[in-house]
Structure 1
């Protein structure tokens, strides 16, 4: 592994220190009010949804504005959760993996027009999925009647298509298809490319100065990520029940074990231009969203809402973990929230980008960006 430039190490060290050593001036009056309300909201949300461990980080202009952990990270309530507690981030893995794949392609080591058929099992997977009862495979309609096109296994879907969730229908609209996205590492290796774990670590994790993040269970450089992992819980009839940790390994679709501190480091490096090749940050975050239903581009849901562009991803490991990563690019504002239950998941659509329907996201956008009215949870606690 190549040595990181000293400037990267110094920037990373400064960023980590800024979490525990906030500016002496502290947040301004408006930010202080936003933090106080959002803090109370999350504390109430955690209690209402019986979440053992919850962690949050808010960044502005690439620097931590506020971070906090709630609850405990074990099943005996003896280990206090911190911003270094790790969680399975589930599908929030996707934007990180996508950025690494873009960087690998721009370096000439990978072709984004590689067909998904480079995966020897792609034809069988597509055939099975397109004839299954899974909505994003065989198609149909969502609960509100919104049509979802089926996968077309006769179309030559490429890696580029898959990174933009264009494996369904004629590819003219996105359909969130995580099972197909999970085949990306097999496509890359089938085309003679490097192991995806090596690509992500070299292109994203190391340049961001992140240590002790696990790219799946079998990551030999996972460090303390598994030792600090908050075990997952499922809430049944209002009672917490400890669940088994999934043994799925790292894929482009999921698998990373990380803390809010580590994801904040990634976000800061991303916005500082240290991770994506020139022009790509603007291509992903600044380009307008034309479709009223929003879009999915290069590992991110994208939408326009109340005059603001929102880029985000949710994470859902059923009965175990949930996560949210939301960016408001024009305000240089980021939210990261991780939980060791599925409570952050809000049954979002497969064909529409609508993060404002998440109560946590809606409250954050109201508190920190003045967009909409804040949601409420357990009002007596606020």
Structure 2
């Protein structure tokens, strides 16, 4: 045990001696409250430094929301304060939500994970262009850290499973390469093979079961409720630190992105997932396993996975350039999760395409240091 951990243990022991048993939990909660306040102060400073208009955060512990914070305003006239009901474009945090719904649909026999991306009648033309493009995760190239990225092999019989696990680049058995464009075509492959529309799959298998009301699955969602009315408009930060209101993307809902939701909504998903309402125990064990990971981490069924100081982390980032960003981080062994949503891109830290490195995010690093250091269980 480190010196800090030893002192912490002594402090808790003294509390146990000095306080009646009924007050020990309250004292421990007070200690945690100091950590929450410290993290909240960090987020407040970070928001100002990064010119983020609206930032909301939720911490989930042991299946319930234990802390939340709404900072800033959701407009450019400073008269609409951000609240915990404020919604955002959650960008690629859509991926684990959509993946969960797709796996549940497969369990019910509504689709098969070995269905081919080529069931989309436009796949052949798309792949022909994509695999020869200058886009690194399409035509190949080098990652931001110099790692070689293989092109998409259109001769392979690429499946839904390949896409959900980011295994569409290179030969069978290659390491993952984050490929959002093939992920975005999952719904087309499902419908091309005779499956239900993705919007119905996600609403029935996730939103309804998790109690996630007033969530918009894209711009054209007829059941989106007040998600668009409460939406924080996106902003683009200029080089001098000033920001200007950005236009909204006209992209609709795909497995890769498109959900408009609040941080509380994502927390509802997190709680329902961990409680077993969304996936079978077999699927949960398969996704959130303790198996040995590659050195650079992995991507599985809609989640990045990596090890950090003896802790297994599962996470997803969201980055809609010039518009929105998000972080969703789970530490299953601690039953601890963090959700952050912002209406500019500055939560994004530039994670490589072929590695999982959330510890390099300044916000995630502060959270991990505060709540998940090796001496915390």
The reply to whether TM is greater than 0.5 is yes
1-structure distance, mates of 2:129, 2:360:
32
Asked whether the equivalents of residues 52 and 340 of structure 1 are also in contact (C-alpha less than 8 Å), the reply is yes
Alignment of 1:279-298 (within 5 A): 279-298=282-301
* Structure 1 gaps, min length 5: 1-23, 373-382
1-structure distance, mates of 2:336, 2:234:
29
1:54 is matched with 55
Deviation at 1:25, TM superposition (A): 5.0
Alignment of 1:24-173 (within 5 A): 28-172=29-173, 173=175
1:21 is matched with none
1:310 aligned counterpart, secondary structure: strand
1-structure distance, mates of 2:172, 2:243:
42
Deviations 1:154-195 (A, max 9, x none): 111111111100100014211000001000000000000000
Q: 1:205–1:27: structure 2 CA closer, same or farther, 3 Å change rule? A: farther
1:330 is matched with 333
2-structure distance, mates of 1:103, 1:316:
26
Asked whether the equivalents of residues 322 and 344 of structure 2 are also in contact (C-alpha less than 8 Å), the reply is yes
Deviations 1:243-262 (A, max 9, x none): 01111100000000000111
Q: Could you tell me which of 272, 276, 281 is aligned with 2:279? A: 276
Greater Cα shift, 113-122 or 135-144: 135-144
2:250 pairs with 1:247: yes
Q: 1:363–1:219: structure 2 CA closer, same or farther, 3 Å change rule? A: same
Larger gyration radius, structure 1 or structure 2: 2
2:18 is matched with none
Deviation at 1:70, TM superposition (A): 0.1
1:211 is matched with 213
2-structure distance, mates of 1:127, 1:121:
10
* Structure 2 gaps, min length 5: 1-24
Asked whether the equivalents of residues 214 and 221 of structure 1 are also in contact (C-alpha less than 8 Å), the reply is yes
Deviation at 1:82, TM superposition (A): 0.5
Q: 1:66–1:248: structure 2 CA closer, same or farther, 3 Å change rule? A: same
Q: Could you tell me which of 256, 262, 266 is aligned with 1:263? A: 266
Aligned residues: 349
When normalised by structure 1's length, the TM-score is 0.89
Q: 1:26–1:192: structure 2 CA closer, same or farther, 3 Å change rule? A: farther
Deviations 1:95-124 (A, max 9, x none): 000000000000011010001100111111
2:190 is matched with 188
When normalised by structure 2's length, the TM-score is 0.90
Greater Cα shift, 289-298 or 106-115: 289-298
2-structure distance, mates of 1:81, 1:157:
43
2:257 pairs with 1:234: no
2:52 aligned counterpart, secondary structure: coil
1-structure distance, mates of 2:345, 2:147:
25
2-structure distance, mates of 1:365, 1:219:
36
Q: CA RMSD in A?
A: 1.4
1:65 aligned counterpart, secondary structure: strand
